[in-house]
Amino acid sequence: MINLSLKILKLLTKKKLTLSVAESCTGGLLASSITSFSGSSKVFNMGLVTYSNNAKIKLLKVPKKTITKYGAVSHETCLSMVKNLSKISKSNISISITGVAGPNGGTKEKPVGLVYIGLKKGSKTIIKKNLFKSKKRTSIQKATVNQALKMILNIL
């Protein structure tokens, strides 16, 4: 994770691109993985931890009806999070994360380990559905951040 973060930081700096993130189940871990390096302020624009539905609605302007209809952990909510973060932050690259980190809170339809990661760069938007097998909260969070970093690296 550390090597990926540093590699991304160097590429963002070299290409003069900015990054913003909106995290839910990772609680700021993605932002921390980037900002733990000196020089990150040149490329890291903002990190929002929109843990509650209310925060997603108020800060990221996710329509309440989207969360009511599809749930906070859904393709639709993740898409709305990343699109609105992009508008708010004006960053070149935006990432959104929403999921069930566990060990509780999972359902048959949305089990522990289900995480959606959204990435937006310019007109390109990708929403990736992940199902991490671990039932340990920290393992799911780390695996999510690792997957998000790989997505950023792929688009750079």
> Which residues are 101's β-sheet partners?
none
pLDDT for residue 146: 97
CB-based contacts of 100, cutoff 8 Å, min separation 6: 25, 73, 106, 110, 111, 112, 113, 114, 115
Give the global pTM: 0.97
For residue 142, with 0-12 CB atoms within 10 Å meaning exposed, 13-18 middle and 19 or more buried, which class applies?
A: middle
CB atoms under 10 Å from CB of 28, counted, come to 15
Over the Cα atoms of the chain, what is R_g?
A: 14
**Is residue 135 predicted with pLDDT exceeding 90?**
no
Q: How confident is the model at residue 1 (pLDDT cuts 50, 70, 90)?
A: low
pLDDT digits (tens, 9 = 90+) for 90-130: 999 999 999 999 999 999 999 999 999 999 999 999 999 99
Q: Quick one: CA dihedral 8, 9, 10, 11, positive or negative?
A: positive
Torsion angle of alpha carbons 100, 9, 21, 105, nearest 10°? Answer: 10
pLDDT digits (tens, 9 = 90+) for 7-58: 999 999 999 999 999 999 999 999 999 999 999 999 999 999 999 999 999 9
Output the six-digit token pair for 133. Answer: 């097998």
What are the structural domains, with CATH classification, of the chain? 2-155 (3.90.950.20)
pLDDT digits (tens, 9 = 90+) for 62-98: 999 999 999 999 999 999 999 999 999 999 999 999 9
